Amino acid sequence: MNRFRTGSHKSISKAIILFALPLVTVMSPPTHAGPDAADFMNGVPPAPETRVDKTNWFVGPHNRWGLQHVREITSTIEISRGDGSVYQLPSTPKPISDIPVNNLDGEAGTIGYWLEASYTDGFLVLHEGNILAEVYMNSMSDDSYHNFFSMSKSFTGNLAGIIADRGQLDTNAKISKYVPEMKDGAYSNATVRHLLDMTVGIKYTEIYDDPDSDIYVYARASNASPNPDGLTLYDVLPKYPKEGEHGAQFHYVTANTDALGWVVQRASKRHLAELLSTEIWAKLGAERDAYVISDLNRTPWMGGGLNTTLRDAARFGLMMEQGGKINGKQVVPADFIKDIQKNAIDIGAPGQGYRNQWWVHPEFNAFSARGVAGQNIIIVPEHDLVIVKLSSWPALSGYHPDGRAYDQRATMAIIDFIKKL
């Protein structure tokens, strides 16, 4: 039964709310009325217009199915959870869906309405380690996987922090100390710190609405897109030209994360997938293995290829919210997380900063992992709060011109609600 509101909107009828929430004022359904994941890849064979493959899985409407089925589309590597016990997340249901927040048109609305309007697939709120709300839409369920896109970057940053804490990596050292193959081009004389904070002076564009942008060429090398030339990540990384001075300004570049991954592999002398499993994933008490897109050399695409379930994403967020600790284990160094919170660089956008492959939000004392098409793990340590939202926006860059402001209003409304508990 749908507990958000009545109406005939397709994805409303297929929403799964694991914790019953009070009914709210009836409103008209959001105008997008997008297709459901169940509308794709049906039939034997599927109709051409419903077929999802490497050419279309990451953009709407085909991403409604594609973001939950990445390993059926391209090559991936398993990230083992190990054989430890599952870290339990107790449930303490609260009426999160009923929290008021103005809609895109300025009219009174609710969090439940926002979830529909913003193409949500999965949504989970943790407070003090308890699940207050867990919502599945668009045919997603508790055992479904979902692509993280650039939230993957934050895992890569954490791995760098872990091995740096052990003395295996000097974040102030030049990249070429660990990867001589990058001694020329954009990464010449750049440091690991420049990679962590996205301040490499590199000629590279990441414009998601421009099919000629460098990010789309790069996606081919990652094996996320058709790759007729047989490129790999480590083929293309040394070839980007330098532009500007390292450290001079924030320049968000997915390639920087995979350059960081290359450094981490060389410094630790371990494969990234194995490192991610043993140092993070197996320590979380995850319910399920994760997996990551891999290139033709079986190199994990850590710039945007990680996939997990909703609850396991929340466990990762909880570990970060608790200062890097979960289930009695210190997973990520506490000082690394303090550095994220205290030393964010100015990125030239109001209310935002960046540090160690994490976004920082000083206006509400939070930091977050963030990915295109609506992926977010928002961490608010001051209020013991973690908000996870997995989505499939119709465009990588957004679902509405005012969508970012709407999302921020919704986040602040949830935080204000938590403050009163």
Each of the 421 residues of the chain gets a pLDDT tens digit; together they read 232 322 233 333 334 434 333 323 333 445 555 799 999 999 999 999 999 999 999 999 999 999 999 999 999 999 999 999 999 999 999 999 999 999 999 999 999 999 999 999 999 999 999 999 999 999 999 999 999 999 999 999 999 999 999 999 999 999 999 999 999 999 999 999 999 999 999 999 999 888 889 998 899 999 999 999 999 999 999 999 999 999 999 999 999 999 999 999 999 999 999 999 999 999 999 999 999 999 999 999 999 999 999 999 999 999 999 999 999 999 999 999 999 999 999 999 988 999 999 999 998 899 999 999 999 999 999 999 999 999 999 999 899 999 999 999 999 999 999 999 9
According to the model, what pLDDT value does residue 25 have?
Answer: 32
Say what the alpha-carbon torsion angle 221, 222, 226, 231 is, to the nearest 10 degrees.
20
Residue 67 falls inside a structural domain = no
Residue 5 falls inside a structural domain = no
Residue 142 falls inside a structural domain = yes
SS3 of 181, please? Answer: helix
| Token pair in block for residue 116 | 């529909």
Q: Specify the pTM.
A: 0.92
Query: How far is it, in rounded angstroms, from Cα 406 to Cα 109?
Result: 11
Q: How many residues does the chain have?
A: 421
Give buried/exposed letters for 268-285 (b at 16+ CB in 10 A, else e).
bebebbebbbebbbbbbb
- Report the number of distinct structural domains present in the chain: 1
The answer to whether 150 and 370 are in contact (CB under 8 A) is: yes
- The boundaries of the domain holding residue 213 are 10-47+73-419
Query: How far is it, in rounded angstroms, from Cα 52 to Cα 35?
Result: 13
Residue with tokens 């709060």: 385
Query: How far is it, in rounded angstroms, from Cα 347 to Cα 364?
Result: 17
Residue 52 falls inside a structural domain = no
According to the model, what pLDDT value does residue 70 have?
Answer: 99
Residue 58 falls inside a structural domain = no
Query: How far is it, in rounded angstroms, from Cα 336 to Cα 376?
Result: 20
- Specify the CATH number for the domain of residue 208: 3.40.710.10
Q: Cα angle vertex 163, ends 157, 168, to 5°?
A: 130
Say what the alpha-carbon torsion angle 47, 50, 51, 55 is, to the nearest 10 degrees.
140
Residue 62 falls inside a structural domain = no
According to the model, what pLDDT value does residue 368 have?
Answer: 99
According to the model, what pLDDT value does residue 32 have?
Answer: 55
Peptide bond into 61 cis (omega under 30): yes
Q: How many CB atoms lie within 10 A of CB 342?
A: 9
Residue 158 falls inside a structural domain = yes
Query: How far is it, in rounded angstroms, from Cα 410 to Cα 406?
Result: 6
Peptide bond into 93 cis (omega under 30): no
* Sign of the CA dihedral with 230 first, then 231, 235, and 240 last: positive
Burial of 314 (0-12, 13-18, 19+ CB in 10 A): buried
Nearest to 251 by CA among 311, 319, 201, 179: 201
According to the model, what pLDDT value does residue 301 have?
Answer: 99
Residue with tokens 């710190």: 193
Residue 55 falls inside a structural domain = no
